[in-house]
Amino acid sequence: MDDALAVVLTLVTRGNCLSDEDLEWIDRQLILPAVPPGWEGDISIGCNEAAWLVFPSGQFHRIGAVAGAALVRELGLEILALTVQPWYVHMVYRPANKEVSAVRATSELALQRLLGPDRPIWAEDYAKRYCFDPEEVESWIRYVEGHNLAANLVAKPWPFISTLTFSKEKGQSGSE
């Protein structure tokens, strides 16, 4: 989408799914539960329980640092917001003619170096939205940053996150 100002991407960890209810929560910009809906410690609830993955809570910051740095370095992605949660990641980034498959593969390879080389990271399920106006972009950035604040982190916990500014002319944007 050449005229999009930003892309909002939600990736879920292996073994998890985005249900219609999850997608509705995201559309309404509500913070998803800390554990996958219906999981409650029961590994059999997952879409692929043999490969279930829930990120350890003590590693959220490290996971975000490793994945984000790889996306910036290897794909030239300009990340505007990022949050790592136990079973999903939300990201807002500037369109860079990169397919979701490239974003998934690059972040998965980086995280496999951290979490184990044979460890599948992402499920096939994901949600992607394009943002076409500044207010929409800012709203999604606040939504993603709200996850970090709710987890007692700062809104932009990694140095690679850009700050997007919009000029008075609609659609003109720049990054700091």
According to the model, what pLDDT value does residue 1 have?
60
- pLDDT for the residue numbered 121: 86
Region 36-45: what's the mean pLDDT? Answer: 54
Band of the pLDDT at 167, cuts 50, 70, 90?
A: low
Q: Which sequence spans correspond to the domains of the chain?
A: 6-175
Whose CA is closest to 75, among 101, 49, 54?
101
What pLDDT, on a 0 to 100 scale, did the predictor assign at position 175?
A: 57
Query: What's residue 39's pLDDT?
Result: 60
Least confident residue range of 25-34, 53-62, 126-135: 53-62
Q: Which CATH number is 6-175 given?
A: 3.30.70
Give this prediction's pTM: 0.85
Residue 41 pLDDT greater than 80, yes or no: no
Q: Region of 96 please: left (phi>0), alpha (psi -120 to 50) or beta.
A: alpha
Task: Provide, rounded to the nearest whole percent, the portion of the chain with pLDDT above 90.
Answer: 49
Of 125, 151, 147, 127, the C-alpha closest to 46 is 125
Q: What SS3 class is residue 83?
A: strand
Name the pLDDT band for 14 (thresholds 50, 70, 90).
confident
Strand partners of residue 87: none
Q: Which two tokens stand for residue 138?
A: 């800012």
> For 84-123, what is each residue's pLDDT tens digit?
998 899 999 998 888 888 999 999 999 999 888 777 888 8
Q: pLDDT tens across 52-63, in order?
A: 577 877 888 999
Distance CA 156, CA 55 (A): 19
